[in-house]
């Protein structure tokens, strides 16, 4: 596997092969806006390596010029890199995680910063496919310590991941071109409309369960672009994500409407390797509980999401 990467080259040692150079496109420092309740600690580490470097995923030992290596803290928390809490996420997925002015920010990022602070380390963020995050492949490969990707807790995903306590209640939303007559998924099917969905998400699964053969897009940005370019009539996406699109882009707000909210009872959760890091899971749960008690969670919720429902802090 690839260890934590600083600017420049990573040296990867593979049994019987020796050292291979792995180039990394970019490492950017992430910082919060002034006045944030959390001290910025995260870095974005991109690991989209060429095929020739695929041996990194099965490497037996790794080392980088900064001397990073896997450790277990005095509290029993296993970290894949010394001094860092490495987070796998899938960009962009605002308001939970996205790049803004070259920095990675969002609700998930800020909450993981709290966990990193509790552990006395900084946060590194790795941009990965949502498919390899939700199946546990990235955690099993040792690419990260925790998955924080606006991810709904499901029974299927629990088979591959250990989830912390839920941190966000979600619902699905339908975002449509103005003038499109649809308020439900039944309307979409009845009128023969073309629905867009993000691959491997609960929204896509819901559409399929309703008998809709949606157009699948790899990322939320690609899905939105499909609506913008007329590839689809409307799309299904987590409500706060669709709502954020309209809040942050006046041209989108002028062309599209959130025509429906679909209650699903979904809850987001952070996840660690299955049966692999119970002490980290405990640290995440304690951090979330403390943040809700001291008001930090409410500040972050209102900063990134909007007004917080009254019953959230009791969950």
Each residue of 233-290: pLDDT tens digit? 999 999 999 999 999 999 999 999 999 999 999 999 999 999 999 999 999 999 999 9
Is the pLDDT at 58 greater than 50? The verdict is no
- Average pLDDT (151-172) is 97
pLDDT, position 241: 97
CA separation, residue 150 to residues 80, 89, 96, 184 (Å): 22, 8, 6, 24
Quick one: pLDDT band at residue 45, thresholds 50, 70, 90? low
pTM > 0.95 = no
Prior bond to 102 cis, omega within 30?
no
Prior bond to 95 cis, omega within 30?
yes
Percent of the chain at pLDDT above 70? 77
Quick one: pLDDT band at residue 315, thresholds 50, 70, 90? low
Each residue of 101-149: pLDDT tens digit? 888 999 999 999 999 999 999 999 999 999 999 999 999 999 999 999 9
pLDDT, position 42: 64
Give CA–CA dist 50/47, Å, rounded. 9
Task: Provide the b/e sequence for 180-209 (b: ≥16 CB within 10 Å).
Answer: bebeebebbbeeebbbbbbebbbbbebbee
């Amino acid at each position: 596997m690839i260890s934590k990467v600083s600017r420049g080259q990573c040296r990867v040692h593979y049994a019987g092969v020796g050292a291979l150079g792995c180039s990394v496109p970019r490492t950017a420092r992430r910082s919060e806006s002034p006045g944030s309740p959390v001290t910025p600690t995260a870095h974005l580490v991109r690991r989209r390596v060429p095929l020739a470097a695929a041996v990194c995923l099965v490497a037996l030992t790794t080392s980088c010029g900064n001397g990073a290596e896997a450790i277990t803290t005095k509290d029993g928390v296993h970290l894949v890199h010394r001094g860092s809490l490495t987070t796998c996420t899938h960009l962009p997925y605002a308001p939970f995680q996205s790049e803004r002015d070259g920095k990675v920010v969002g609700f998930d990022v800020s909450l993981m910063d709290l966990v990193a602070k509790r552990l006395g380390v900084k946060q590194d963020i790795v941009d990965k496919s949502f498919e390899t995050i939700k199946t546990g492949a990235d955690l099993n490969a040792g690419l990260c310590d925790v998955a924080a990707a606006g991810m709904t807790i499901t029974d299927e995903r629990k088979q591959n991941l250990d989830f912390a306590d839920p941190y966000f209640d979600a619902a699905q939303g339908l975002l449509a071109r103005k003038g499109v007559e649809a308020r439900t998924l039944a309307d979409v099917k009845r009128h023969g409309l073309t629905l867009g969905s993000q691959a491997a998400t609960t929204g896509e699964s819901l559409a399929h369960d309703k008998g809709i053969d949606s157009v699948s897009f790899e990322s939320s940005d690609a899905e939105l672009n499909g609506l913008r370019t007329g590839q689809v009539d409307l799309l299904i996406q987590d409500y706060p994500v669709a709502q954020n699109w309209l809040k942050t882009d006046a041209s989108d707000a002028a062309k599209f409407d959130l025509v429906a909210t679909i209650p699903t009872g979904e809850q987001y959760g952070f996840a660690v390797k299955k049966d692999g890091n119970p002490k980290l899971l405990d640290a995440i749960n304690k951090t979330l509980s403390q943040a809700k008690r001291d008001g930090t969670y409410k500040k972050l919720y209102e900063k990134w999401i909007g007004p917080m429902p009254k019953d959230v802090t009791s969950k």
